[in-house]
Amino acid sequence: MSQEPKVIYLKDYTVPSFLIESTELRFELFEEETIVHAELKVKRNPACEKSAASLELFGHEELELIELTIDGAALDEKSVQREGELLILSSLPETFVLKSSTRIHPETNTALEGLYKSDGMFCTQCEAEGFRRITFFPDRPDVMSVFRTTVEADKKRYPVLLSNGNPVKTGENAEGRHWVTWEDPFPKPAYLFALVAGDLKCIEDSFTTMSGREVKLVIYAEEKDLDKLDYAMLSLQKSMKWDEEVYGREYDLDIYMIVAVDFFNMGAMENKGLNIFNTSCVLANPKTTTDASFQRVEGVVAHEYFHNWSGNRVTCRDWFQLSLKEGFTVFRDAEFSADMNSRTVKRVEDVSLLRTAQFAEDAGPMAHPIRPDSFIEISNFYTMTVYEKGAEVVRMIHTLLGPELFRKGSDLYFERHDGQAVTTEDFVQAMEDASGKDLGQFRAWYHQAGTPELHITDEFDGQKEEYRLTVRQTCPATPGQDKKTPFQIPLSVGLLDQEGNELRLTNGEYSEVLEVTEAEQTFVFKGINAKPVPSLLRGFSAPVKLHYAYQRDELMFLMANDTDGFSRWDAAQKLGVDIMQELIGGYSVDRPMALDSRLIAAYRAVLEADGLDKAMVSKVLTLPSQAYLSELSEVIDVDAIHNVREFIRKKLAFELEPLFLKRYQENNLEVDYSPDADSIARRSLKNLCLSYLVATQKTEYLQLAKEQYAQSDNMTDMQSALALVAHSDDKVAGAELLDDFYAQWKDESLVVNLWLSIQAADPSEGALARVESLMHHPAFDAKNPNKLRSLISVFCAQNPVNFHAKDGSGYQFLADRIIELNAQNPQIASRMLTPLTRWKKYAADRQVLMRAQLERIHQCDDLSKDVFEVVSKSLV
């Protein structure tokens, strides 16, 4: 690094010195350059105390400023100062018109921030600080302005020209060029600006809002993908309806557009009236799309739509407040998905993700509160913590207030802050004001990082007929935060008697939310005449780690009797974890492995029972993941975890073979594909059974998988079968199917990504060499983030045995990729780095190798802020 990048602190926040009343933009798009003309109506901010303050515009170093005038006149040299990405103008009047012309190069923009090209079409990504790569502007979310945008381009190459809001004018120029002017009447921060120009096709539909206004809905994609847009359209209509019914929120413009692009750093972006989506989050068709992707499309379409209120109408004051919009919106989309599909399944999936990825983040060098107090590069804070833990914090408010008061709170929040840029504090304040509930102590969730741990012990007093739960809370130190104050934690509990019946609790119900507020606290239940089995943290009522010394028999009892579906699954996980941890501990001392027969009995009971929710059956019968066991480990022993897990899977497969076969056959129906919750559940149980059958290593089941591959009419069944054969010991059969699959799908980019991922995740020997050779395959493109994720990130995060190879080859491979990507696409480089940052969790030999690679990256010249921040924090 030539210069250490600057740290930005929340405590340094000051209001903007100038406000922008309106912004008029004109884009001239060409093949070798783009010219951006901007005209801003500027006035001093009355809220700014410094009466002679200068105006700070942000403009990336690569922007070429062609012309700059104020009220039509050029500025004298002393009043203009360009320093890094700042352009500072001084000696300014109270109000003025600022005009600029800037030259940029979207055609060579590989960072995919600002204006860039994806497969020949122009598109933008401005969140968080991408607008400063387009033109000079006060690019901060508390500066909101109305935008009027004209896009001009070659008509043949770019017949479709889009921006935010409504199209108001169009025309043609000389030399085959045309233009369209768009007007967005809602003031917005620059990060919500969007522009698209390309040869796009679309599907159209409409939605009538609760007040009877008709909104035009348009989804754009390349022509070849037109047959994959219906599901996103349906999801959009469902989201619009749901937000009216559940939050009373109506859409505000006359048109809502979504554009699918192939080159995209994240999932999707909520630009006002013009969402831009990664193709992976919008295209869906039974032939090419798995069930998991169908659900992702539904969830992401909803997420971006919900941002129209939680994010756009009410936006963030500064980027430290990111969780204000992201945590709330993830909570909203999770509730939507729960209502559209199975609530328990959705909860299990979200909690699994939180417990693996977010808990690991909280325990690593990048740990931060959901409202961070400093950053070097804000792109590094689009994290599991800000999004998923942020959503859990909103969920806890929902639990503490109850649904009616929570709705009162959200109504007040939207009403009070409509059109404003606000803070997480404003959100909590609205919840407090509307409900009368004191959330004083609760606010610690916003500024304290780390995963709290609850240590629970219990006592039964037969004499007094009392049952007591003593809860002690702790929270490990995180970077910059050694000591934490106690959190307010909603702890949902139930009590079961020996027969498995639920007992009535203090509130007269079967479930009760205890409010844990002290470092140590005892809760007493009266009128209990025999020692009950506690069901703790029902529904995962708080993002904490819970410790209670359950006996294995008690966990089996909860699996069979708990009325809370989440807790039944959680009991199965705990039983699995307990058994696996014992074997993992014995692995390093060569203790022979033997499986506790209780796990077999528990699985048998679930497989034999009729009438259970199939999705839940397949969740319960899935052993705790390698990632979860790693997170729970003091020191991660990659091989031990992998081999123990495989040993148990095989043992279960042999013991329960007839039942797995029976359930497989029963659920292997010949019916038309449908992505509804019941059908998805059926396929997931079926494919889980097949995976156990294949684990027996009997050729007849490998044959069965091949048959499923050949006969399937949908990508879910096809992909599951392909992965099983490809990962089996029969590498010849695997290669044959992989070749067949590629030949069949080579023109479907998203399907090819599945093909790359299956190979990247293959735990058998030689995976790294295969990944390296795939990097030279025509299917791979190192500039496309989806390809990088499918091949490189899957190898590093989902193939632990090979990534953590003893010779360090996996680490070196990743470091090489980061160094290459650092200049090309810093956001992706920095994200891909994550697995190396967890070096402290491994044994000494791995630590040395991982650190060495981090050092190697750290020593590179010209590290981006993104990579610099993560590497330097990881080396502390």
Nearer to ligand TRP, 139 or 326 (CB): 326
311 vs 675 by CB, closer to Zn ion: 311
> Under rule CB under 5 A, which residues in 311-340 are in contact with Zn ion?
326, 329
Q: Closest distance between ligand TRP and the C-beta of residue 155, in Å?
A: 29
Here the tokens at position 149 are: 């945008």
Supply the minimum distance, in Å, between the C-beta of residue 380 and ligand TRP: 11
Six-digit token string for 582 = 């014992």
Q: What is the dihedral of CA 654, 597, 763, 388, to 10 degrees?
A: 130
Pick from 816, 841, 842: nearest CA to 829: 816
**C-alpha closest to that of 853 among 781, 804, 795:** 804
DSSP-assigned letters across all residues of 170-187: EEE-STTEEEEEEEEEEE
Question: What separation in angstroms does the CA of 13 have from each of 9, 81, 315?
Answer: 7, 22, 16
Selection from 139, 115, 138 nearest residue 62 by Cα: 115
b/e map of 784-818 (b: 16 or more CB within 10 Å)? bbbbbbbbbbbbbbbbbbbbbbeebbbbbbbbebb
> Is the CB of 304 or the CB of 717 nearer to ligand TRP?
304
Least distance (Å) between residue 824 CB and ligand TRP: 15
From 222, 304, 631, 869, active-site residue: 304
Query: Which residues contribute to the site for ligand TRP (CB under 6 A)?
Result: 125, 127-128, 265-266, 268-270, 303-304, 326, 382
Nearest to ligand TRP of 268, 632 (CB atom): 268
Structure tokens at 593: 């492995």
Residues 849 and 810: their CA atoms lie apart, in Å, by 10
CA distance 182 to 161: 9
Cα separation of 68 and 136, whole Å?
10
Residue whose C-beta lies closest to ligand TRP? 266
- Measured from the CB atom, is 329 or 451 closer to Zn ion? 329
Contact yes or no for 821/829 (Cβ under 8 A)? yes
CB of 307 to Zn ion, least distance (A): 6
Output the smallest distance, CB 350 to Zn ion, in A.
15
| DSSP result, 668-722 | --------SHHHHHHHHHHHHHHHHHHHTT-HHHHHHHHHHHHH-SSHHHHHHHH
Length of the chain: 876
Amino acid, res. 637: D
In sequence order, what are the beta bridge partners of 468?
459, 524
398 — phi, psi (to 5°)? -60, -40
* Residue 375 interacting entry, from ligand TRP, Zn ion, none, C-beta within 5 to 8 Å by type: none
Q: Output the smallest distance, CB 175 to ligand TRP, in A.
A: 34
534/785 with CB nearer ligand TRP: 785
In angstroms, how far is the first alpha carbon of the chain from the final one? Answer: 17
DSSP bridge partners of 172:
178
For helices 699-711 and 715-726, give the axis angle rounded to 10 degrees: 150
- Shortest Å distance, C-beta 597 to ligand TRP: 46
Q: What are phi and psi of 79, to 5 degrees?
A: -90, 0
Q: Is 304 a catalytic residue?
A: yes
**Shortest approach of ligand TRP to residue 732 CB, angstroms?**
41
Q: Output the smallest distance, CB 748 to Zn ion, in A.
A: 27
Return the number of the residue (55 or 269) whose C-beta is nearest ligand TRP: 269
- Closest CB 379 distance from ligand TRP, rounded Å: 7
Instruction: Give the containing element (helix H, strand E) for 606.
Output: helix 597-608
- For ligand TRP, give the closer residue by CB, 270 or 637: 270
Residue with smaller CB distance to Zn ion, 264 or 868: 264
473 three-class SS: strand
In angstroms, give the least distance from the CB of 303 to ligand TRP: 6
List C-alpha distances in Å: 327 to 382, 392, 486.
Answer: 11, 8, 22
Neighbouring residues of 676: CB distance < 8 A, sequence distance ≥ 6: none
Please report the DSSP string for 90-144 in residue order.
-S--SEEEEEEEEEE-GGG--S--EEEEETTEEEEE-TTTTGGGTS-B--STT-E
Residue closer to Zn ion, measured from CB, 192 or 760: 192
Three-state SS letters, 490-524: EEEEEEECCCCCECCCCCCCCCEEEEECCCEEEEE
Q: Which is nearer to ligand TRP, 148 or 831 (CB)?
A: 831
Which residues of this chain interact with Zn ion, rule CB under 5 A?
Answer: 326, 329
Q: What residues are labeled active site? A: 304
